[in-house]
């Protein structure tokens, strides 16, 4: 694993003095006057670790990372359910500067991904900058700086805020009558209770997204009974997940260029056959995806009645496409029961469906996804002139190029609203975004301005173009999904990855408001 030289001095960590003291604030101002601005990074997941590494690389070492949990990892810390894995190949879902020759599988399990981030954090000496169990609760832009308040009562000041808050960490709970009446163990998939015994248990899983498919594929045949409550069937792309051989791992260790070549090959394949398909509903790639998913269903589900229960009535990839080597085998296991009648209510003994049947359970798992419209929220954010983020996002979240919000100067988001969340590796996305953000930071550090944020008219024009382009995507071809906002418009990047990469090369300065230039 590649490492950068250790950086000394400047940075603050949990062992440093309280950054909200008068002395610390004065020191921060002096450093800023000498060209050493202070940063606050929110979140110690994938994007937060990236921010620390790249800030240090740029010689900007005056920063603190505030993390609400007691350890780093973000999504991979939160999700520990059986079968959890990434649906992007591991050698692509890795930092470009920290390749990992030790991945065990093409799609590695969640615990291995978490261990990878922990190893990267150790290699780049990230932990000393992180303040754990400290949630940022309020940001206010006053006198040219961000005033930061936390759940522990600490206060901080920063010239820049990088919001690496992630997307998949606010669980979404279903509104089902009687759900609190269930007498057995009940938890969201992102809050898995590993103290609950599963052997011989009757388990119910609510939901049929990627998480539910991974859980069912992992538990089928290993528990007493498995009941999958399906509201909407999903298209499933058959994708083998073979182990990476000892010989290949040894070759990657000895020749890092071989890993780089593999990463480039995976990236090109991913973009050509998947990323381009979802943003062009009528493309040959989209048709190919449909054919592959249809063939997977028809070749692997023998019972014609069950096959039709599992057949969606919408286009493949309209919802986030599920990748699995064995879901159809798992759902056909004798102890697995696919329940397609709607849920009427939850009772003490189990789930009552609308056909009157009571499905008796010992464990109820809510694989019902996340509130993907949160981003910075629930942090209270007050920008220039007292404008609140809640007011700016009263209709729905929006950001210019998913990075900057008008009237929130020197605050930047990684994987923010309407970014490429559904069709690319989020690590690639975050790396491109951060390189772009660092160019905006340089406008301030070089003295060209004191504050930079997206201009309101540029943000409006971007949003209009995004909404228009979304009409060509597969996400609007007739399904309900978490991609769609309240208008039915996909809250995602509707263009190719090449277009995203091009936009991230350098900021269009005319699209930004520079104050104090």
Whole-number Å distance between alpha carbons of 385 and 404: 17
- The answer to whether the beta carbons of residues 423 and 285 sit under 8 Å apart is no
Q: What is the pLDDT of residue 422?
A: 64
Whole-number Å distance between alpha carbons of 255 and 207: 43
DSSP 276-341: HHHT-TTSHHHHHHHHHHHHHHHHH---HHHHHHT--SS-TTSSPPEEESSHHHHHTSTTEEEE-S
- The answer to whether the beta carbons of residues 368 and 186 sit under 8 Å apart is no
φ, ψ of residue 382 in degrees (nearest 5): -115, 120
Class of domain 22-170+371-515: alpha beta
Q: What is the pLDDT of residue 12?
A: 30
Q: What is the pLDDT of residue 371?
A: 79
Please tell me the pTM assigned to this model. 0.91
Q: How many CA atoms lie within 13 A of 204 on its CB side?
A: 27
Strand partners for 205? 228, 365
Q: Per the CATH hierarchy, to which homologous superfamily does domain 179-242+281-366 belong?
A: FAD/NAD(P)-binding domain (3.50.50.60)
Q: What is the pLDDT of residue 424?
A: 77
- The answer to whether the beta carbons of residues 10 and 129 sit under 8 Å apart is no
Q: Pull the structure tokens for residue 241.
A: 């997940």
CATH 3.50.50.60 in the chain: give the residue spans.
22-170+371-515, 179-242+281-366
CA-CA-CA-CA torsion for 48, 50, 55, 61, nearest 10 degrees?
60
Q: Pull the structure tokens for residue 374.
A: 């949160």
- The answer to whether the beta carbons of residues 366 and 188 sit under 8 Å apart is yes
Strand, coil or helix: what is 66?
Answer: strand
Percent share of the chain, pLDDT over 70:
92
Those residues of the chain that have pLDDT short of 70 are: 1-34, 422-423, 517
Tens digit of each residue's pLDDT (9 = 90 or more) over 219-258: 999 999 999 999 999 999 999 999 999 999 999 999 999 9
- The answer to whether the beta carbons of residues 220 and 333 sit under 8 Å apart is yes
- The answer to whether the beta carbons of residues 319 and 369 sit under 8 Å apart is no
Q: What is the pLDDT of residue 28?
A: 44
Measured between its terminal Cα atoms, the distance across the chain in Å is 42
């Amino acid at each position: 694993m590649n490492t950068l030289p250790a950086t000394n001095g400047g940075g603050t960590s949990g062992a440093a003095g309280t950054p909200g003291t008068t002395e610390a604030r004065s020191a921060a101002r002096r450093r800023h006057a000498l060209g050493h601005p202070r940063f606050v990074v929110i979140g110690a997941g994938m994007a937060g670790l990236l921010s620390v590494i790249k800030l240090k690389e740029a010689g900007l070492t005056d920063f603190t990372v505030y993390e609400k949990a007691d350890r780093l990892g973000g999504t991979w810390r939160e999700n520990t359910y059986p079968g959890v894995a990434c649906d992007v190949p591991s050698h692509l879902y890795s930092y470009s500067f920290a390749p990992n020759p030790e991945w065990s599988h093409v799609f590695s399990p969640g615990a291995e991904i978490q261990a990878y981030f922990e190893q990267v954090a150790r290699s780049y000496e990230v932990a000393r900058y992180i303040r754990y169990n400290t949630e940022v609760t309020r940001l206010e832009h006053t006198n040219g700086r961000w005033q930061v308040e936390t759940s522990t009562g600490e206060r901080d000041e920063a010239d820049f805020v990088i919001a690496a808050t992630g997307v998949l960490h606010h669980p979404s709970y279903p509104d089902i009558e009687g759900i609190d009446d269930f007498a057995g163990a009940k938890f969201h998939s992102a809050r898995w209770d590993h103290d609950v015994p599963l052997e011989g248990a009757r388990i119910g899983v609510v939901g049929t997204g990627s998480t539910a498919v991974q859980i069912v594929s992992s538990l089928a045949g290993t528990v007493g009974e498995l009941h999958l409550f399906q509201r909407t069937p999903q298209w499933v792309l058959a994708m083998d997940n073979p182990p990476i051989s000892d010989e290949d791992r040894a070759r990657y260790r000895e020749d890092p260029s071989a890993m780089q070549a593999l990463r480039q090959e995976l990236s090109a394949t991913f973009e050509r056959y998947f990323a381009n398909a979802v943003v062009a509903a009528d493309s040959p790639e989209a048709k190919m995806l449909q054919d592959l998913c249809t063939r997977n269903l028809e070749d692997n589900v023998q019972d014609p009645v069950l096959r039709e229960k599992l057949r969606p009535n919408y286009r493949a990839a309209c919802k986030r496409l599920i990748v699995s080597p064995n879901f159809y085998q798992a759902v056909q296991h004798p102890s697995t029961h696919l329940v397609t009648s709607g849920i009427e209510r939850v009772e003490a003994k189990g789930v009552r469906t609308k056909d009157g049947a009571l499905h008796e359970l010992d464990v109820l798992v809510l694989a019902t996804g996340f509130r993907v419209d949160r981003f910075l929220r629930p942090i209270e954010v007050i920008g220039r002139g007292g404008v609140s983020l809640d007011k700016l996002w009263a209709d729905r979240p929006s950001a210019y190029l998913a990075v900057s919000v008008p009237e929130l100067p020197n605050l930047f988001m990684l994987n923010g609203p309407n970014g490429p969340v559904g069709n690319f590796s989020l690590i690639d996305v975050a790396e491109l975004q951060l390189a772009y953000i660092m160019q905006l930071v340089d406008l301030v550090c070089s003295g060209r301005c004191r504050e930079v944020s997206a201009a309101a008219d540029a943000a409006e024009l971007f949003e209009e173009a995004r909404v228009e382009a979304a009409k060509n995507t597969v996400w609007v071809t007739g399904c309900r999904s978490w991609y769609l906002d309240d208008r039915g418009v996909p809250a995602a990047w509707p263009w190719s990855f090449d277009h995203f990469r091009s936009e991230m090369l350098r900021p269009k300065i005319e699209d930004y408001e520079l104050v104090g230039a």
